[in-house]
Amino acid sequence: MKTDHELIKEFQNGNNDAFNILVKKHLPDTIGFFVKITSNTIEAEDLAQDVFIKMYKALKKFRFASKFKTYLYRANINMANSFFRTKKWKNLLHLDEVPEQGYYDNSIDNKWKKEELWNAVAKLPGSQRKVLTLRIARELKYKEIAQILKISENSAKVNYHYAIKTLKGRLS
Partner 1 sequence: MKFENKLKHLLSQVDNSIDSSSFLSSLHKERKRRNLQRNKIINTFSAFALLLVVGLTSIKSLSNEPIFIANNDLYALQQMDEETEALIFNLADYLVTTSDDFWETMTFFEEIQFEPMYSLNINGGLE
Given the rule CB under 8 A, which residues bind partner 1?
A: 20, 23-24, 27-29, 31-32, 35-36, 41, 45, 48-49, 52-53, 56, 104-105, 107, 110, 113-114, 117, 136-137, 139, 164, 167-168
Cα angle for residues 28, 34, 40 (degrees, 5° grid): 105
Q: Minimum distance between the CB of residue 104 and partner 1, rounded to whole angstroms? A: 5
146 and 114 Cβ atoms separated by less than 8 Å: no
Q: Minimum distance between the CB of residue 24 and partner 1, rounded to whole angstroms? A: 5
114/129 with CB nearer partner 1: 114
Report the alpha-carbon distance of residue 45 to residue 30 in Å, rounded.
9
56/62 with CB nearer partner 1: 56
43/45 with CB nearer partner 1: 45
The secondary structure of 84-121 as a DSSP string is HHHHHHHHHTT--SSPPPPSS---HHHHHHHHHHHHHH
Q: Minimum distance between the CB of residue 50 and partner 1, rounded to whole angstroms? A: 9
| Rg (the chain; Cα; Å) | 17
Q: Minimum distance between the CB of residue 33 and partner 1, rounded to whole angstroms? A: 8
Tell me whether residue 84 is exposed, middle or buried, using C-beta atoms within 10 angstroms of its C-beta: 0 to 12, 13 to 18, 19 or more: buried
124 and 118 Cβ atoms separated by less than 8 Å: no
13/107 with CB nearer partner 1: 107
Q: Minimum distance between the CB of residue 103 and partner 1, rounded to whole angstroms? A: 10
24/150 with CB nearer partner 1: 24
